[in-house]
Amino acid sequence: MNAGKHFSFDGQVKEIRPLGEGLINDTFFVETVGDSPNYILQKKNKNIFKDIPAMMDNIHKVTSHLKEKIIKKGGNPLREALTITPTKDNKLYYLDEEGEYWAACLFIDNTLTYEYADSPELAARGGKGIGQFQAMLADMNEPLADILPGFHNMKYRFQQWDEVLMKDPVARKSQVQKEIEWIESRRNEMLALWEKFEAGEIPVRITHNDTKINNILFDKQGNVLCVIDLDTVLSSMCLNDYGDAIRSYTNAGKEDDENLDKVYVKMDIFEGYTKGYLSEAISFLTPAEIENLAFSAKYITFEQVLRFLMDYIDGDNYYKVKDEKHNLVRTRAQYKLLRSMEENYDMMCNIVNKLVADLRK
Ligand code: ADP
Ligand code: GN1
Ligand code: MG
């Protein structure tokens, strides 16, 4: 791997091999000889990230802030936050001859990753970890560049949606009329949350925006060690992070499960995550944020249905796919999860309210 030569890795590189299940970047594990640290090398997806220098700058600001906090708490800044490995000429990224952007960071070893939460206790630890992550960033004053305009902005998502439907570039629209109706029938309900954010009823915070469970490294005791995949750190609603975590932790099936009977929201996991999250986040959440927590799980899951279906109609330009039906399979699986959340919505609201009341006793 030629790009690897340009980074200031300690030790001699033994092998560079593919790693992980990310849907966006190409990730590689850099193994070094002997006791030197290992690394992660990534080719960042420039179709999605239009300003990778600004993205790396955001990540640098956020990880520097996190490290200061971790050191103050007596933690290990090399394991509890990502550490960017610069290039030999001390840049945060390497731009190769083909115009591809590469970045590297320290590999954090002895960790566990999950595709879903297998117990309420694990979910609670995950929730606590994201609560702590948000709390550590709550006083970060340095502005972040808006490198993904409109990322969880439902107005923007519907603009993209309307354009793709109008173009129907690969003539797939007629096959998915039923699925399109799933989106249209919820348009106003979903836009309403973003409107509250735009109106200032819900505050702007520094948020991760991609808190699915495989973007978290757990230690061997099952505690959150490090929140990774910081490409999407932005100033947005912290509800995105709660909602996206619920979408991935609570799903009894896979994000792209073909067996829809396996896909539903596990309420014990919902309760576990929410309990862990609120144990930290109760200290900073406003009443409007608390009031919209349960809804944010539906919001982010709906957005994911929209994004997978939109990518299918658009001809699979955004997400990595294994075949031409993959985005449609993902759409149906995420829709099944959304339906399950809708059926359990009253219970979700009751759980949030009860946990908040207990914490305030
Ligand atoms: P993508 O944006 O494509 O999802 P990620 O940054 O999430 O890429 O990386 C993909 C996978 O690589 C992660 O799910 C995790 O398993 C592993 N990984 C990434 N960074 C690290 C790290 N610093 N230490 C250990 N494992 C990592
Ligand atoms: C992408 O990068 P990764 O695989 O962790 C996507 C998320 C989606 C997720 C669905 C930048 O996350 O928004 O929720 O896939 N990231 C980006 O699995 O679009
Ligand atoms: Mg990832």
Q: What pLDDT, in 10s, does the model give residues 239-297?
A: 999 999 999 999 999 999 999 999 999 999 999 999 999 999 999 999 999 999 999 99
For residue 60, give the nearest of 22, 100, 29, 104 by alpha carbon. Answer: 104
How much distance in Å is there from the Cα of 46 to the middle of ligand 1?
17
How much distance in Å is there from the Cα of 74 to the middle of ligand 2?
32
Atom of ligand 2 nearest to the CA of 231: 11
* 215, 242: one domain: yes
* 337, 196: one domain: yes
* 76, 164: one domain: no
Is residue 114 one of the residues assigned to a domain?
Answer: no
Supply the pLDDT for residue 22. Answer: 76
Probe ligand 1: pick from 217, 227, 231, max atoms within 8 Å of CB?
217
Each residue's pLDDT tens digit, 169-196: 999 999 999 999 999 999 999 999 999 9
Is residue 35 one of the residues assigned to a domain?
Answer: yes
Is residue 115 one of the residues assigned to a domain?
Answer: no
Domain hosting 26: range is: 2-109
* 330, 256: one domain: yes
Supply the pLDDT for residue 23. Answer: 87
Q: State whether the Cα torsion 274-275-280-285 is positive or negative.
A: positive
Supply the pLDDT for residue 93. Answer: 98
The amino acid occupying position 121 is E
* Structure token digits, residue 339: 């339906």
Domain boundary among 56, 86, 109: 109
The amino acid occupying position 175 is Q
Is residue 290 one of the residues assigned to a domain?
Answer: yes
* 96, 125: one domain: no
pLDDT tier at 115, thresholds 50, 70, 90: confident
Q: Where are the beta strands (DSSP E) in the chain?
A: 13-18, 26-32, 39-43, 84-85, 94-95, 101-106, 205-207, 216-218, 224-227, 234-236
Number of structural domains found in the chain: 2
